[in-house]
Amino acid sequence: MGHFNKKMIKKTKIEEVEMPFLDHLEELRWRIIKSLIAVVIFAIISFIFSDYILDFLLLTTKNLEHHIELQVLKVQTVFIIKLELALIAGIIFSLPVIFYQIWAFIAPGLLESERKYVVPVITFATISFIIGASFAFFVIIPFALDFFLSLVPENVKNNIALDFYFGFVARIVLVFGIVFELPVVSLLLTKLGLLTPQILRKYRRYAIVIIFVLGAILTPPDPTTQLFLAIPLLVLYEITIWISYFFAKKPEKE
């Protein structure tokens, strides 16, 4: 009987340990599902207005120093591009929902005083992505296009496939939008106690090397575009140090 009671107590303890973890997994699953639903809804809406979005993306080709002609080489090219545009736009427009779901998932582990940052964090994260994407679209892409087109000999026409152009623009915009989230990540990790300004200062020299390596990996293979990505990243890294310092938990006075 005693042995049976010990087994029951042991089983109860195991369930007490496992159930919270399973509950977290279930909550994470529903957070992901809600985020995906938001992406699908906004993607459908974006597909309806995909012609306007595509026209907007072609604005960068109108004020270039070097003339460029975009062409369609496959029958299904435009339809595929519209689908990809709808998906990317759906993700971008769903960012407030996605950020809220992330925050709602980690909020139970925060103090009541820390949960009041939900609106500023979501707003900060969304604005940071928009700033990064806008910087890429209005500054980096025109400069990169002019740089690449200037390398073409005079007797060669600048005819570029529409899907190649779209892939080029989409990759740079998404990369810059994501890397501009670095201050937001710093804020969250600092509030969770996983990051301190001392750690960021200590590994600054290593971060500089990693930043230039990322610039080489994430951008087209030319040093100019890599430098245009590395410089904002270096500035963002310094900003993350100040953000971490501002939001770091101060030692309690005796």
What does the pLDDT look like over 29-52, one tens digit per residue?
888 999 999 999 999 999 999 899
Asked, for residue 237, whether it belongs to a domain, the answer is yes
Do 60 and 116 meet the contact criterion of CB atoms below 8 Å apart? no
Asked, for residue 14, whether it belongs to a domain, the answer is no
Asked, for residue 253, whether it belongs to a domain, the answer is no
Q: 168-191: string of b/e by CB count within 10 Å (b at 16+)? A: bbeebbbbbbebbbbbbebbbbbb
Asked, for residue 3, whether it belongs to a domain, the answer is no
Supply the mean pLDDT for the chain: 78
User: Both tokens of residue 60?
Assistant: 């960068």
Asked, for residue 6, whether it belongs to a domain, the answer is no
The SS3 assignment for 159 reads strand
Residue-range definition of the domain harbouring residue 239 = 20-247
Asked, for residue 15, whether it belongs to a domain, the answer is no
Q: Is the pTM of this model over 0.75?
A: no
What is the band of 109 on the pLDDT scale with cuts at 50, 70, 90? Answer: low
What is the total count of domains within the chain? 1
